[in-house]
Amino acid sequence: MQLTGNTIFITGATSGIGRGLAEALHARGNKVIVSGRRKALLDEVTAANPGMEAIELDMTDPSSIAHAAAWLTRHHPSLNVLINNAGIMPFDDPAGVIDDATMQQTVATNLFGPIRMTSALMDLLKSQPSSYVIHNTSVVAFMPLAANAVYSATKAALHSYTQTQRFALRDTSVKVLEIAPPWVNTDLIYKSDDPRAMPLEAYVADTMAQLATDKQEIYVDAIQPLRDNPGSNEYALIATFNQALVDNPIPVG
């Protein structure tokens, strides 16, 4: 995609990957509008990036999404890029009791949120000569984590939705892209500086470089073996991967 001259709305831009992409896109001369629940952090991001704008948004609340979409349509009618980035990653145990409130929060944030946000902006995006929906899924969309089972399921579902939406929009001006990050050193779980986690700056730089191409799926080279579907051998790969994390767990603070 062309990485200049766009009007871009990004969810979950108060920290981590969302903030990193927002600042990189702002630096390239795009009009960037950031969002999230934490007002103090939105103020910090816009103060650090003159010209950037912000709106408070709770992705679990349909009325908050509707309000943000109406505000964007009124104040930024040239909006042509939506980046659905907001997400949460609670731990759970599919061999035990699943906390219902946490499950609902996870599904509402990671799956219903991007579907609702895209739906609310679809007419505006279709009215532009060239526009993009970019869903942030995860490597776990292809390789589920047993310690984050509901999270993994939401990302696999969003990966599925991305592909059907891309097909459904194939004859329109709207392109649907997917970014599937590896483990990146952010606050999503705990910023542990674990050497297995990719530094945020390197991840943002890699993603920006790939966004400048015509790729529909954007992920770092290191996860190619996980992206390559093992077919009928899928469970053996998932079991080996999860056993490695049982032996050497992700730090949780």
Ligand X SMILES: NC(=O)c1ccc[n+]([C@@H]2O[C@H](COP(=O)([O-])OP(=O)(O)OC[C@H]3O[C@@H](n4cnc5c(N)ncnc54)[C@H](OP(=O)(O)O)[C@@H]3O)[C@@H](O)[C@H]2O)c1
Active site residues: 151
User: Between residue 232 and residue 251, which ones bind ligand X under the rule CB under 6 A?
Assistant: none
Q: Identify the bridge partners of residue 56 per DSSP, sorted by sequence position.
A: 36
Taking phi first (over 0 means left), then psi (-120 to 50 degrees means alpha), and beta for anything else, what does residue 199 get? Answer: beta
CB of residue 61 to ligand X, shortest distance in Å: 8
Question: Which string of x and - marks every residue 117-136 that binds ligand X (by CB under 6 A)?
Answer: -------------------x
Using rule CB under 6 A, residue 12 touches ligand X? yes
Using rule CB under 6 A, residue 138 touches ligand X? yes
Question: Which string of x and - marks every residue 57-76 that binds ligand X (by CB under 6 A)?
Answer: xxxx----------------
141 and 155 Cβ atoms separated by less than 8 Å: yes
Using rule CB under 6 A, residue 144 touches ligand X? no
- Cα–Cα distance, 159 to 137 (Å, whole number): 6
Between 124 and 188, whose beta carbon lies closer to ligand X? 188
What residues contact 241, with CB distance under 8 A and at least 6 apart?
A: 143, 226
Specify the stretch interacting with ligand X by CB under 6 A; choose among 30-38, 142-150, 162-170, 224-232.
Answer: 30-38
46 and 52 Cβ atoms separated by less than 8 Å: yes
CB of residue 232 to ligand X, shortest distance in Å: 26
13 and 22 Cβ atoms separated by less than 8 Å: yes
Helix (H) or strand (E) run with residue 6 in it: none
Helix (H, G, I), strand (E, B) or coil at 91: coil
Using rule CB under 6 A, residue 38 touches ligand X? yes
Between 17 and 174, whose beta carbon lies closer to ligand X? 17
3 and 212 Cβ atoms separated by less than 8 Å: yes
User: Between residue 85 and residue 104, which ones bind ligand X under the rule CB under 6 A?
Assistant: 85-89
150 and 98 Cβ atoms separated by less than 8 Å: yes
Among 121, 145, 161, 181, binds ligand X (CB under 6 A): 181
| Residue ranges in contact with ligand X by CB under 6 A | 11-18, 36-38, 41, 57-60, 85-89, 109, 136, 138-139, 181, 183-184, 186-188
